[in-house]
Each structure stands twice: as structure tokens, then as C-alpha cells.
Amino acid sequence: MSAPASVSQARPVAIPISDTLPWLIGAALFGLLLYYFVGIDQGATSVFGDNMYIHELVHDARHLLSFPCH
């Protein structure tokens, strides 16, 4: 059994790095910011001082991801 002569093949699309780099940097910064607020923002390392609003907001996610808390 032979393949038909007019079979089109899928070709990868080349995306220039200048188009993807801003998205990559933005996603990395967003991930680091999310990581900070979920995992690290507490007590002396809190950017908002002594109030615990962010900590309480992400508290369940913090324990779900096994970050130390109390």
C-alpha cells in the first residue's frame, strides 16, 4: 500500500525569540510573585508589615503546597 502523492505534511512554525521573550519574562515574574505571596510572605519577610491579609488569603494553598506556616 503506497501513500498518495499529494499528502501534505505538517511543518513547524518558527516563532522568533523576540516575540516569545516578553511572555517568558512576564510568566517568570508572575510565577515568582505568586511563589513569594503563597510561600514566603509572612512575618518579617512580609511586604505589607504586620497585617496578615495576604497570608490569610493564601493560607490554605500554603498548607496544600506544604510550605511551613505557624
Whole-number minimum distance, CB 22 to Zn ion, in Å? 36
Whole-number minimum distance, CB 48 to Zn ion, in Å? 17
* Other CB atoms within 10 A of residue 69 CB: 10
x/- contact string, 30-69, with Zn ion (CB under 5 A)?
A: ---------------------------------------x
Radius of gyration of the chain (CA): 23
* Other CB atoms within 10 A of residue 67 CB: 15
**Cβ closest to Zn ion, residue 21 vs residue 69:** 69
Q: Which residues bind Zn ion (CB under 5 A)?
A: 69
